[in-house]
Amino acid sequence: MAEQMTGAEMVIQALTDQGVEFIFGYPGGAALPIYDALFQQDKIQHILVRHEQGAGHMAEGYARSTGKPGIVLVTSGPGATNAVTPLTDALMDSIPLICITAQVPTNLIGSDAFQECDTVGITRSCTKHNYLVKNVNDLPRVMHEAFLIATTGRPGPVVIDIPKDVQFALGMYSKPDIENLRHPSYRPRMDGDHAAIEAAVELMLRAERPVFYTGGGVINAGPEASEHLRELAELTGFPVTSTLMGLGAFPASNPQWLGMLGMHGTYEANLAMHDCDLMINIGARFDDRITGRVDAFSPNSRKIHVDIDPSSINKVIMVDVPIIGDSARVLAEMVRIYRSKTNQPRTEAIAPWWKQIAKWRAVNSLGYKNSETIIKPQYAIERLYEMTKDKDVYITTEVGQHQMWAAQHFHFDKPNRWMTSGGLGTMGYGLPASVGVQVAHPDALVIDIAGEASVQMTMQEFSTAVQYRLPVKIFILNNERMGMVRQWQDLLHGSRHAHSYSDSLPDFVKLAEALGGKGIRCSNPAELDKAITEMLDHPGPVLFDCLVEKDENCLPMIPSGKPHNEIILPDTANIGSIIDEAGRALV
């Protein structure tokens, strides 16, 4: 039944009709009518952030850990421009966000009004789609269409820019049939082509050196996609590796798990990718961190690529069997067809392959030399993992060495437990993301594995955690370096450490206290367990300043411009002589 209401009320009503429980936002002049409507209801809770970038990353953490879209509400001008980084981050990592930006009144658009910016122009290239709503009667349709676009197909961020006069204007709102909403031109393909899936299974039945290469698409397709992946892996007996974004879709505790692949992936995962005869890519996009040098990427394999985005197919790597569809549905179909042919895993046929993999595993590429006097960052994460693995734990990270160490040494058995900025590589993602995760899972243990440089980019959101009594644990591996930058300078730039050290660092313990939380510092490996216990036992937010070895390198590493089989292992003495002139120009 249609009901008359203001544009601002429509926004809140549409969010309520979509089942939204939380909004991450920050008010401002142009957004006041929406905030007023928000004030007069109690179904949706608003989390007040300290900076709009924080709101975006919180919404990403919320979305990634729940599978539901994250909602951001910001004002015009600087509110909108501050949201650009998380919008881009969400686009790169396919995270569903709805970002409502207020705009100056329609009659002032284009007049360089106070806090005016061309929001739809600025966000056009960092959203899946965006809208400027100039007529209140379009608002109900746009609101619900935005949810459809953000959450279906390859998910992504959608911006709805609403001028202040439209927020005040009266119009008719009626709740649409949300389940059956259709868009005239946007129709994502969900079911994979049957013949292609059949062909893929045929290749699996003949493969001798197969590998599953899975990505964030498996997480995005929901927990059932992970279930089907586990079933298919068990059915076939094939080894499984995953990208950074896909960690948790396949249990790290399973013997078929090879560890993460890519630039800082394990030796066995990367060598398996290089030497396989059949690569089964489920929901990954052949990102450059994965492929390394593309003209030497897995030279002797047939490649199957399952992706919901047709433009991902043959974009970077040419494949033999492309399958466009939702990975949950395609995996279920693969399981069904495989079962119809045989119930036997190809244990015997791939036994030599597993033997080869065992040799690679024996290299122990994640090994490191521990110390009794200094905390090694890998050791810190290992202890954190051991001491929390039986809890309901969610991990977020910032970007850099600590992120890669977390991916290597913290192990995930469930999907949606790992929140990290993969595509865009946004330093400052992890702290606000952990706040968003904690909002969604108030009783869970949420830890941001951070670096002291990254965490300072969005540090102020610790105050948000304090305000809403969100007991996030910020575990800072403090090496007083932008460690990954320092490592690259050692690799590529003659160890000239141009601006890659953290000088004038805050006293993180005092900082935590100043912000109303708890601070813990630890620099002695013998006291680490006790300090971690203290952190876990504290019922509120904690900043843990873990002083670690300053110049540890993150290895293994596939250097720029090198193929998988030229990976640098931890026992390499001098990393400064490995990359040639051509490799130096790469990122």
Query: What is the residue whose two structure tokens read 């890659």?
Result: 500
114 is catalytic: yes
CB of 303 to another protein, least distance (A): 8
Q: Does 185 bind another protein (CB under 8 A)?
A: yes
Q: Does 296 bind another protein (CB under 8 A)?
A: yes
CB of 389 to another protein, least distance (A): 35
164 close to 102: Cβ distance less than 8 angstroms = yes
40 is catalytic: no
Q: Does 125 bind another protein (CB under 8 A)?
A: yes
Half-sphere exposure of 523 (CA within 13 A, CB side): 6
In whole angstroms, what is the distance from residue 131 CA to residue 74 CA?
A: 15
Contacting range for another protein; rule: CB under 8 A; set: 41-49, 182-190, 325-333, 439-447 = 182-190
3-state secondary structure of 367: coil
Pick the catalytic residue from 22, 58, 128, 164: 164
Q: Does 121 bind another protein (CB under 8 A)?
A: yes
Q: Does 491 bind another protein (CB under 8 A)?
A: no
Q: Does 206 bind another protein (CB under 8 A)?
A: no
Residue 540 burial (CB < 10 Å; 0-12/13-18/19+)? middle
Nearest residue (CB) to another protein, 110 versus 367:
110
Per-residue binding letters, 127-146, with another protein (x by CB under 8 A): -xx--x--------------
CB of 307 to another protein, least distance (A): 11
Q: Does 533 bind another protein (CB under 8 A)?
A: no
| Three-state secondary structure of 271-336 | HHHHHCCEEEEECCCCCHHHHCCHHHCCCCCEEEEEECCHHHCCCCCCCCEEEECCHHHHHHHHHH
Query: What is the residue whose two structure tokens read 């868009």?
Result: 183
CB of 274 to another protein, least distance (A): 11
CB of 463 to another protein, least distance (A): 36
Indicate the pairing of strand 170-173 with strand 3-6.
antiparallel
**What does residue 99 show for φ and ψ, rounded to 5 degrees?**
-115, 115
Nearest residue (CB) to another protein, 93 versus 452:
93
CB of 448 to another protein, least distance (A): 29
Nearest residue (CB) to another protein, 297 versus 353:
297
Q: Does 301 bind another protein (CB under 8 A)?
A: yes
Return the residue of 198, 224, 288, 566 that touches another protein, per CB under 8 A.
288
Pick the catalytic residue from 52, 333, 452, 552: 52
CB of 322 to another protein, least distance (A): 11
Half-sphere exposure of 177 (CA within 13 A, CB side): 4
β-sheet bridge partners, residue 474: 448, 543
Q: Does 107 bind another protein (CB under 8 A)?
A: no
Return the residue of 82, 167, 270, 298 that touches another protein, per CB under 8 A.
298
DSSP letter string over 427-446?
Answer: TT-HHHHHHHHHHH-TTSEE
Query: What is the residue whose two structure tokens read 């300090």?
Result: 531
In whole angstroms, what is the distance from residue 294 CA to residue 303 CA?
A: 14
- Both tokens assigned to 188: 């994502």
Residues labelled as active-site residues: 52, 114-115, 164, 484
**Residues found near another protein in the complex (CB under 8 A):** 120-121, 124-125, 128-129, 132, 149, 183-186, 288, 291-301, 303, 309-311, 313-320, 560-561, 586-587
